[in-house]
Amino acid sequence: MKQTFNVNIVSQEPLPTPNEIRQELPLSSLASDNVYEFRRTIENILDGKDKRLMIFSGPCSIDNIEAAKDYGKRLLKLSKEVSDKIFIIMRAYFEKPRTIVGWKGMVYDPFLDGSCQIEKGIRISRKLLIELAEAGVPVATEMLEPVIPQYIADLVSWAAIGARTTGSQTHRQLASGLSMPTGFKNTTDGDIRIAVEAISSAGSQHAFLGVIDDGRTGIFRTRGNKYCHLVLRGGSNGTNFGSEYVAFSKEILRKAGLAPAMIVDCSHGNSNKECGRQSIAFRDALDQISHGETAIRGLMLESYIIAGRQDINIGKMTPGLSVMDACIGWEETESIIREAHSKLSPCK
């Protein structure tokens, strides 16, 4: 008999079930209460009930746990100082989509050495999320692999569907069942309409296949996620943080019957992938807000402890320096967030 099944599979190994991982690394009452309140705050900002500005800030991808903890402590201290006008959320991305190949993030390759010890990656990622939640740090992450949310979603305050997956039916269905507000980024070529279609889709009921808590394949039926929204991140055709793009996005959202609420991602296409240009997008969006633009509910920065980036070179790497996209450093991050705080009007 000719082999027709798993022709290109080298090996298979079982993962612990989501239930087993959550029992091993349980969600504490403190973490649960904090995540619940963080999500409600984000919902209220998206609804316009809370007039504060959200700022998402953190590394392109979590690559060093101790550096991530250090960053979280810095962000928490700053957050308390500006909390009357700004609600800060830490980027803690554990999965990275790749155009071709490369390091795919902490979940897939936690030791950055190609060993791809995914089971350990899930545990390491969940442990960090628990520590951040218990410390009082809200966390944002990208949902890329549809199975991973079953292991970590209870600790996430805000989720992103990335530019490469916004058009994916699988990810729209996934978002419809997520328990937290979820931002859809415009596509890599800058297309906003596809993201708006995704928001409409994710707000609807769906039925789809997935891995349930006991590890079996099952059917998920969702009620729809009413807190999906647009993230402007620029694209290959240029930036889209300017007032004309914000106005255009509002009109498309209104025509689709959606609330005109959006986040401006100051990195990626909006910085032409040059970390030093993030501040240009940040200040432009901030000026729009200062002049009465209410649709911009949040700004996103790729930021780490040390400015720039480095290649993966085991044993010779600098903690707190990105191994993915170049990030602005902590000093600039703190400076422009304080600048935003000084420019924003008092919240009423």
Report pLDDT for 347. 83
Nearest to residue 225, comparing CAs of 238, 206, 244?
206
Nearest to residue 305, comparing CAs of 132, 143, 86, 90?
90
Q: Which phi and psi angles does 206 have, rounded to 5°?
A: -140, 160
- Residue 202, domain CATH: 3.20.20.70
Report pLDDT for 98. 75
Give me the amino acid identity at 25.
Answer: L
- Has residue 112 been placed in a domain? yes
How far is C-alpha 36 from the chain's CA centre?
A: 17
Exposure string over 280-291, b if 16+ CB within 10 A, otherwise e: bbbbbbbebbee
- Has residue 9 been placed in a domain? no
- Has residue 13 been placed in a domain? no
pLDDT tens column, 151-209: 999 999 999 999 999 999 999 999 999 999 999 999 999 999 999 999 999 999 999 99
Q: Do residues 260 and 230 make contact, with C-beta atoms less than 8 angstroms apart?
A: no
Q: How far, in Å, are 82, 132, 140, 286 from residue 129 at the CA level?
A: 23, 5, 10, 30
Report pLDDT for 69. 98
Under DSSP, the state recorded for 214 is: T
Domain count, the chain: 1
- Has residue 290 been placed in a domain? yes
Nearest to residue 278, comparing CAs of 238, 237, 332?
332
Report pLDDT for 102. 85
In which residue ranges of the chain is pLDDT below 70? Answer: 99
Under DSSP, the state recorded for 314 is: T
- Has residue 11 been placed in a domain? no
Q: Do residues 146 and 136 make contact, with C-beta atoms less than 8 angstroms apart?
A: no
Gap between the Cα atoms of 139 and 160, Å rounded:
11
Domain enclosing residue 263, as ranges? 18-343
Q: Quote the Cα angle for 156-158-161, to 5°.
A: 110
- Has residue 240 been placed in a domain? yes
- Has residue 87 been placed in a domain? yes
Report pLDDT for 101. 76
- Has residue 6 been placed in a domain? no
304: tokens are: 């780490």
